[in-house]
Amino acid sequence: MATDQRQADPNRTLELLWDVQPAPTRGPKPALSVRQIVDAGIAIADAEGVAAVSMRRVADELGYTTMSLYRYVPSKTDLLELMVEHASEVPEAPDGLTGWREKLRWWATRTVDVYRHRRWALDVPLNSPPMGPNQIKRMEQALEALDETGLSGGEMLGILVALSGYVRGHAQLASTLADVEARTGTPQAAWDQAYGRMLTTFVNPAEHPTLARIVTQDGFASYAEPDDEWLGDDFAFGLELVLDGIERYLERRMSPE
């Protein structure tokens, strides 16, 4: 990647994310647009992962030279950020949801759905705080869900960070387990076999009593061979844990001292 990026310009990045370009009047008409470039990048990432997205590749896809992209986007880092922003469109919350818990469940599930459909989004290195319209809208939705609880802004943000953390972290772990083959170029079967051999070879009851017991009881099977649901049930399981935790916090907080 050569030098990557010497310096970032937050203001320029924000302009791009929120699509408020100064709209130049002078020079020749632009043949491309930021949107086209971002969409091309997304298409490549959807098909072949984010590693396949290079400036050259995007430009080729559009039929222009590599350097032409730099007239629209300051750096590859910004392009990736724009891709994530555009890829994670936020659906409007349906009307039927009642109560913070139902709303947050919906929110978390929608959020993890983005990662499910655009797994590459998790591979884009996170360099700056969430700044794009969709990211902000997503925050707003979660906060709206919590609004009815009467908590302070700080408390609501704390809960949001905790929940986001869970969602992102779980998605990342799940994605890693599910996509070993795509990530390493080595067949899933080879990984499974190696992993199994590792477990039986190194996980002896002396040093790892609990793990060893679980392994022999075969409770590990569903993790060693993740199903097509991308650990969907597992995500829901953990989500309810977190929601339960929030509920208990509310009970304690609201109950008379």
Partner DNA sequence: CTAGAACTGTGTACAACATAAACCAAGTGC
Partner DNA sequence: GCACTTGGTTTATGTTGTACACAGTTCTAG
How many chain residues bind a copy of itself (CB under 8 A)?
88
Other beta carbons within 10 angstroms of residue 251's beta carbon come to 9
Residue 194 interacting with a copy of itself (CB under 8 A)? yes
Contacts of 163 (CB under 8 A, 6+ apart): 104, 108, 142, 242, 246
Q: Single out the residue of 52, 190, 200, 227 in contact with a copy of itself (rule: CB under 8 A).
A: 190
**Residues between 161 and 180 with contacts to a copy of itself, criterion CB under 8 A:** 161-162, 164-173, 176-177, 180
Residue with tokens 């995007």: 58
Which of 73, 33, 25, 26 is closest to 53 using CA atoms? 73
Contacts of 20 (CB under 8 A, 6+ apart): none
Residue 254 interacting with a copy of itself (CB under 8 A)? no
- The listed partner (a copy of itself, DNA, none) that binds 170, CB under 5 to 8 Å by sort, is a copy of itself
Residue 249 interacting with a copy of itself (CB under 8 A)? yes
Q: Single out the residue of 13, 16, 44, 75 in contact with DNA (rule: CB under 7 A).
A: 75
Residue 6 interacting with DNA (CB under 7 A)? yes
Residue 133 interacting with a copy of itself (CB under 8 A)? yes
Q: Which two tokens stand for residue 7?
A: 């310096």
**Residues between 44 and 63 with contacts to DNA, criterion CB under 7 A:** 53-57
Residue 28 interacting with DNA (CB under 7 A)? yes
Other beta carbons within 10 angstroms of residue 73's beta carbon come to 23
- Alpha carbon separation from 236 to 95, 108, 171 (Å, rounded): 22, 9, 11
Q: Single out the residue of 140, 227, 229, 253 in contact with a copy of itself (rule: CB under 8 A).
A: 140
Residue 77 interacting with DNA (CB under 7 A)? yes
- The listed partner (a copy of itself, DNA, none) that binds 27, CB under 5 to 8 Å by sort, is DNA
| Contact yes or no for 162/249 (Cβ under 8 A) | no
Residue 186 interacting with DNA (CB under 7 A)? no
Q: Which two tokens stand for residue 27?
A: 């020079």
| Cα distance between residue 123 and residue 132, in whole Å | 18
Footprint on this chain of DNA (rule: CB under 7 A): 1-6, 22, 24-32, 53-57, 64-68, 70-72, 75-77
